[in-house]
Amino acid sequence: MLKNAKPIQKDKLHDQVFDQLCTLLREGEFTPGQAVHVARVAEAFGVSAMPVREALTRLQAIGVVTNVTGRSLGVPSLSYDELSDLRDVRLEIESLAVKWAIANRDEAFVSDLEELLQRLKSSEQAGDVQGYVKANYAFHLRLYQQSNSPVLIDVIDTLWLRVSPHLFQLERENQYEVSNIHHSNIVQAVRDGDEDTATRELVQDISDAYDVLVRTLFHGRAMP
């Protein structure tokens, strides 16, 4: 944990601490049930404890972390209903982003997705879980950024802050390999300007991942 943290520059300190914590969360640096100690984060970032506490308080306010002790917070486990709610909202919001992205597609966009797809495949084949989680976030973010909607991206970012710490579970059942099939189909659909296929593959990618998380976290409890 925190091995990828970088010292924080002193200007705009509080925002930089918050942004870097968000990046680490999205990249799977923190896992559910793992305590995030204020002092350890402050040391890794090269800052005092105050901006770290403020950043963690902001994350706590949006449900990304929860209080463990007076000096540490942690990523909460998701209940079945919370996980289902996150899935349903992601299906709607991220599908919309894909539709807008395809309407705005260009050669640079397709090239970026192809490069990120190769990173995903390489990470999956190497069994690099953390590398895969990072590449997966980068792929989806680049896909949604082409929507050219900062408001939409802000909403998606908050959703990913809550779900990303749980994605390491998807190593089970070869889900990374399955997900890369959907990623490949999304890239081809983007290249072809095929909105329906791209949206369908995204929905299936999110839904498949959800099913694995349910089986892993709730011992096979079925979807409603």
Question: 178-208 burial, b for 16+ CB within 10 Å, e for fewer?
Answer: bbbebbebbbbbbbeebbebbbbbbbbbbeb
Task: Compute the distance between CA of residue 150 and CA of residue 81 in angstroms, rounded to an integer.
Answer: 28
Query: For the segment 168-186, what is each residue's pLDDT rounded down to a tens digit?
Result: 777 666 789 999 999 999 9
- Residue-averaged pLDDT of the chain: 88
Mean pLDDT, residues 31-47 taken together: 85
pLDDT at 77 over 90: no
Domains detected in the chain: 13-74 (1.10.10.10), 80-218 (1.20.120.530)
Query: For the segment 108-147, what is each residue's pLDDT rounded down to a tens digit?
Result: 999 999 999 999 999 999 999 888 988 999 999 999 999 9
pLDDT at 223: 46
Question: 146-171 burial, b for 16+ CB within 10 Å, e for fewer?
Answer: bbebeebeebbeeebbbbbbbbebbb
Which residues lie across from 36 on neighbouring strands? 73
Beta carbons within 10 angstroms of residue 84's beta carbon: 15
Query: For the segment 152-165, what is each residue's pLDDT rounded down to a tens digit?
Result: 999 999 999 888 88
pTM assigned to the model = 0.84
What residue ranges in 64-181 does DSSP mark as E strands?
66-69, 72-74
pLDDT at 24: 85
